[in-house]
Amino acid sequence: MVKFCSLFSGSSGNCLFFGTEQTKILIDAGLSRKAIFNALEQIDQKPDQLKGILLTHEHNDHVRGAGILSRTLDIPIYATEGTWKGCMPVLGEIDEKNMVCIEADKPFEIDDLCIQPYRTPHDANDPVGYCLLAEDKKTVVATDIGKMTRALLKWFEKSDLLFLESNHDIEMLKIGSYPQKLKNRILGDKGHLCNEVAAKTVAYMVKTGVTRVVLGHLSEKNNFKELAYITAVNEMKKEGILPGRDATVEVADRY
Ligand SMILES: [Zn+2]
Ligand SMILES: [Zn+2]
């Protein structure tokens, strides 16, 4: 059975676990080794079973612990060329055999996992999201997305599980304490996805057959779990979808 678990999700650190019986990986490793090992223990997973780390982009909240994990466990890191360039100073020295350069739109395999990286609109060098195909199930990881596009919706189609960013409530962000420059960045086309757009995306994807959505990468200051959840549920109801019957929506904990 395929297992997906959000260990950490949000601006203070991101790390997702994905695995089949045979192959276990992390997507991003934006926390300390200790924090990640503890979180793995809580879901009964052993760090030495991990086969690799996929990075979405070079921002600190996604890569902070990747270097030390690669060195400790002697496992490869998979990242685009731009991401490698951006995160080398943070990662420290990585064994050459553990540096794998991937490209958007070029699928690759790790044992029984087929992984399809796709481009995301975000203010990083060469950011990607991932479609993970294993045991006839499709899991899509989609965070750090400035705007929703047709191309992205296409990648989400027919997923069995969609992990989607629902970063902020626009009004909370606007009246909040962030400096204007940061607000503009988050609201921009290469920033983060707001609850409202995430909710519309969820309703649309459920109509096309997606039955399980997990909302993630919530902002600490400009969102809260209940708000992200209720925004999605209201949008689904508007479209005649009954949450719980037609699809399940959950919100990932930040910790
Ligand atoms: Zn980012
Ligand atoms: Zn992020």
DSSP secondary structure string, 145-172? -SS--HHHHHHHTT-SEEEEE--B-HHH
- Would you give per-residue pLDDT tens digits along the chain (255 residues)? 899 999 999 988 999 999 999 999 999 999 999 999 999 999 999 999 999 999 999 999 999 999 999 999 999 999 999 999 999 999 999 999 999 999 999 999 999 999 999 999 999 999 999 999 999 999 999 999 999 999 999 999 999 999 999 999 999 999 999 999 999 999 999 999 999 999 999 999 999 999 999 999 999 999 999 999 999 999 999 999 998 889 999 999 876
Closest ligand relative to 12 C-alpha: 2
1-102 adopts what CATH topology?
A: Metallo-beta-lactamase; Chain A (3.60.15)
CA of 219 to the centre of ligand 2 (A): 9
Eight-state DSSP code of residue 214: E
Helix (H) or strand (E) holding 63: helix 60-63
- The domain ranges of the chain are 1-102, 145-255
- Number of other residues whose CB lies within 10 A of the CB of residue 121: 18
The span from the CA of 15 to the CA of 61, in Å, is 9
Are 129 and 143 spatial neighbours (Cβ–Cβ below 8 Å)?
Answer: yes
DSSP per residue over 212-238, as a string?
A: EEEEE---SSS--HHHHHHHHHHHHHH
Ligand 1 centre to CA of 238 (Å) is: 31
Residues shown for the chain: 255
Distance (angstroms) between ligand 1 centre and the Cα of 118 equals 15
Ligand nearest to the CA of 28: 2
Query: How far, in Å, from the CA of 189 to the mean position of ligand 2?
Result: 15
